[in-house]
C-alpha cells in the first residue's frame, strides 16, 4: 500500500513538472530525477508480494533444483499448488506421537489412495499421497487430447471428476519419513507438493517407485541418490520393514503415454516400468497395496506366494462405458484370491463421478460369507482414520474419536440439574 501511494505521488509530480516545463519553460532537471525514482517504484511494486500472499505460496524454491521442480510439474500436470494454510496438523501429530507396540503395525488413510504405515521399529512409510486440488474450473469443456480415459472409451467431454475429500495431512509438517512411495504416475498418486516437502524436511527419505514415477521425481529435482526405481521382484529394506514390488494390473496405465503416441494395433508399453503393487512386510503383519489395479487372476499368484494380512484396493462406481475401479464384487474376489485377513476399500472417497458406498461391500459380504466360507472381513474406513493390525482386524467399520470421555470430571455450570 505504501509503495502504491509513493508511486502515485511521484507520477503526479512528473505530470506537474512536465506541464510547468512546457508552459513556463522551467528546468527539466527535476524530471530526470523523478523518472528513475518512478521506474524504481514500479519495479519494487511488481516484484514485492503481499505478506499474506507470501505466506500462502509453497516454498518450492527452497528445494534443491526448484526451477526444474516447477517446470517439470507444469509439463506433467495441470493441478495448481495447494497452500499451507489449507492443511491442519492433527494427523501429523497423531502419527508423530504414536509409539507402535511390539507385534503391531499402525496405518492411517490420508484420502484417495494415500496411506501411511508406521512399524514397531519406527519405520515411517508413505504411499500415493496426493494433496493437490484437481480441477478448479469447468470453463474448458473438452478433455485433454489423448488423455488415458479418452483413449480408453473415445470420449471428448471434460469429465466431472471433482475432488470431494479435503486434505487430512499437512505435507509441509512431515518431519520424519523414511520412504515416499508411489504405485504409478497418475497425478492423483504422485504429488509435487509432497515431493518438495519431503525433500526439504526429511533428508534421509528415499523416493521409491516404478520408472515412470522416478522419472517424474527426477524432473522435479529430486537428487539421483534418493531415487529407487523398482520392478516386480525387487525388495527394498526400510528399517524393520521390507518393501516388495509386485506386478500391477492397472490397465489404464498402459494407456498413459505421450500425446503423439498412437496405441491402436500396437503392443502396449511395459507394465513393469509403468506401475507396481507393493507388499510391506513387517514383524506384525504384511500390508498389500494394489494401487489402481483392475481385477486379474494373478492376484491368486500373489496370494499363493506371499502372506497377506491387510489388503488395500481401489474401489469405485464406474460410469457407463468406463472400467477404472474395482466393483464391490471385485473387492471380495480380490480379498479371497490374496487370502488376506482384512480387505480395506479406498479411492472411492476422492472423485465425485466415481463416488461409491463401501457399505455395499459389507452387504455383499454378509450375503455371501456363510455360503462362500470367506476367511476375511471387509473394513470400512474414513480419511484421516487410524487402523492398527491386529487390534482392529475384526472391527468392520471405523468411527472417528467421539470425545467427551471426561464428562462430569468437573461440576457442570447449569442453572439447575434437570436443565439437560
pLDDT of residue 203 exceeding 90 = yes
pLDDT of residue 140: 85
Report the pLDDT averaged over residues 54-73. Answer: 37
Secondary structure element (H or E) that encloses residue 17, with its range: helix 2-24
CATH architecture of 60-389: 4-Layer Sandwich (3.60)
pLDDT of residue 13: 66
pLDDT of residue 120: 98
More confident residue, 355 or 64: 355
Position of cell 466431472?
160
Ranges of each domain in the chain: 2-48, 60-389
Alpha-carbon distance of 234 to 225, in angstroms, equals 17
More confident residue, 58 or 142: 142
pLDDT of residue 69: 35
pLDDT of residue 71: 30
Q: Are 345 and 397 in contact (CB under 8 A)?
A: no
Alpha-carbon distance of 205 to 197, in angstroms, equals 11
pLDDT of residue 328: 97
Nearest alpha carbon to residue 326 among 362, 364, 354: 354
Q: Are 43 and 10 in contact (CB under 8 A)?
A: no
Alpha-carbon distance of 379 to 218, in angstroms, equals 36
Alpha-carbon distance of 407 to 420, in angstroms, equals 13
pLDDT of residue 134: 77
pLDDT of residue 229 exceeding 50 = yes
pLDDT of residue 51 exceeding 90 = no
CA count, 13 A, side-chain hemisphere, 89? 9
Q: Quote the radius of gyration of the chain (alpha carbons, Å).
A: 27
Per-range mean pLDDT, top range of 49-58, 227-236, 260-269: 227-236
CA count, 13 A, side-chain hemisphere, 236? 25
Report the pLDDT averaged over residues 206-235. Answer: 97
Question: What pLDDT digit, counting tens, does each position of 246-256 carry?
Answer: 999 999 999 99
Report the pLDDT averaged over residues 379-399. Answer: 97
Lowest mean pLDDT among 59-68, 117-126, 141-150, 273-282: 59-68
Q: Are 136 and 190 in contact (CB under 8 A)?
A: no
pLDDT of residue 54 exceeding 70 = no
Alpha-carbon distance of 420 to 416, in angstroms, equals 9
What sign for the dihedral angle of Cα 10, 12, 15, 17? negative
Which grid cell is 76?
506433467
Q: Are 212 and 273 in contact (CB under 8 A)?
A: yes
pLDDT of residue 159: 87
Alpha-carbon distance of 314 to 149, in angstroms, equals 17
pLDDT of residue 136 exceeding 90 = no
Report the pLDDT averaged over residues 192-205. Answer: 95
pLDDT of residue 308: 98
- The two beta strands, 124-127 and 115-118, are antiparallel
pLDDT of residue 7: 58
Question: What pLDDT digit, counting tens, does each position of 303-351 carry?
Answer: 999 999 999 999 999 999 999 999 999 999 999 999 999 999 999 999 8
- The two beta strands, 235-238 and 241-247, are antiparallel
pLDDT of residue 52: 42
**What's CA 257's distance to the chain center, in Å?**
21
Q: Which residues of 319-349 are buried (b: 16+ CB within 10 A; e: fewer)?
A: beebebbbbbebbbbbbbbbbbbbbbbbbbb
pLDDT of residue 243: 98
Question: What pLDDT digit, counting tens, does each position of 64-82 carry?
Answer: 333 333 333 333 334 445 5
**What's CA 313's distance to the chain center, in Å?**
16
What's this model's pTM, rounded to 2 decimal places? 0.81
Q: Are 209 and 229 in contact (CB under 8 A)?
A: yes
What mean pLDDT is reported for the chain? 86
Alpha-carbon distance of 291 to 190, in angstroms, equals 12
Amino acid at each position: 500500500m505504501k509503495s502504491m501511494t509513493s508511486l502515485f505521488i511521484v507520477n503526479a509530480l512528473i505530470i506537474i513538472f512536465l506541464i510547468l516545463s512546457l508552459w513556463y519553460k522551467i528546468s527539466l532537471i527535476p524530471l530526470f530525477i523523478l523518472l528513475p525514482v518512478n521506474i524504481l517504484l514500479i519495479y519494487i511494486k511488481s516484484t514485492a508480494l503481499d505478506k499474506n500472499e507470501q505466506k500462502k505460496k509453497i516454498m518450492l524454491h527452497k528445494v534443491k533444483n526448484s526451477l526444474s521442480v516447477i517446470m517439470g510439474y507444469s509439463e506433467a500436470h495441470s493441478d495448481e499448488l495447494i497452500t499451507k494454510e489449507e492443511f491442519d496438523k492433527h494427523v501429523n501429530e497423531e502419527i508423530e506421537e504414536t509409539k507402535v507396540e511390539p507385534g503391531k503395525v499402525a496405518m492411517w488413510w490420508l484420502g484417495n489412495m494415500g496411506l501411511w504405515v508406521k512399524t514397531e521399529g519406527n519405520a515411517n512409510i508413505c504411499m500415493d499421497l496426493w494433496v493437490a486440488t484437481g480441477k478448479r474450473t469447468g470453463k474448458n469443456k473438452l478433455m485433454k487430447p489423448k488423455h488415458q480415459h479418452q483413449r480408453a472409451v473415445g470420449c471428448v467431454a471434460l469429465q466431472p471428476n471433482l475432488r470431494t475429500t479435503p486434505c487430512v495431512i499437512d505435507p509441509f509438517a512431515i518431519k520424519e519419513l523414511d520412504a515416499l512411495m508411489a504405485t504409478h504416475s497418475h497425478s492423483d498418486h504422485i504429488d509435487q507438493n509432497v515431493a518438495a516437502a519431503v525433500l526439504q524436511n526429511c533428508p534421509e527419505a528415499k523416493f521409491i517407485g516404478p520408472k515412470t514415477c522416478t522419472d517424474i521425481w527426477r524432473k522435479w529435482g529430486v537428487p539421483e541418490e534418493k531415487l529407487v526405481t523398482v520392478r516386480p521382484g525387487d525388495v527394498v529394506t526400510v528399517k524393520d520393514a521390507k518393501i516388495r514390488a509386485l506386478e500391477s494390473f492397472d490397465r489404464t496405465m498402459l494407456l498413459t503415454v505421450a500425446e503423439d503416441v498412437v496405441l491402436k494395433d500396437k503392443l502396449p508399453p511395459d507394465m513393469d516400468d509403468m506401475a507396481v503393487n507393493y507388499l510391506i512386510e513387517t514383524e506384525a503383519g504384511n500390508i498389500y497395496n494394489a494401487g489402481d489395479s483392475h481385477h486379474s487372476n494373478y492376484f491368486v499368484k500373489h496370494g499363493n506366494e506371499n502372506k497377506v494380512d491387510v489388503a488395500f484396493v481401489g474401489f469405485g462406481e464406474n460410469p457407463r462405458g468406463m472400467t477404472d475401479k474395482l466393483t464391490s464384487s471385485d473387492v471380495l474376489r480380490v480379498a479371497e484370491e490374496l487370502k488376506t485377513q482384512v480387505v480395506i476399500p479406498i479411492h472411492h472417497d476422492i472423485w465425485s463421478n466415481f463416488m461409491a458406498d463401501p457399505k455395499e461391500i459389507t452387504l455383499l459380504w454378509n450375503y455371501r460369507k456363510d455360503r462362500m466360507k470367506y476367511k476375511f472381513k471387509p473394513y470400512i474406513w474414513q480419511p484421516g482414520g487410524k487402523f492398527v493390525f491386529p487390534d482392529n482386524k475384526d472391527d468392520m467399520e471405523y468411527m472417528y474419536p467421539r470425545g467427551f470421555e471426561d464428562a462430569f470430571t468437573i461440576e457442570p455450570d447449569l442453572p439447575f440439574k434437570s436443565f439437560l
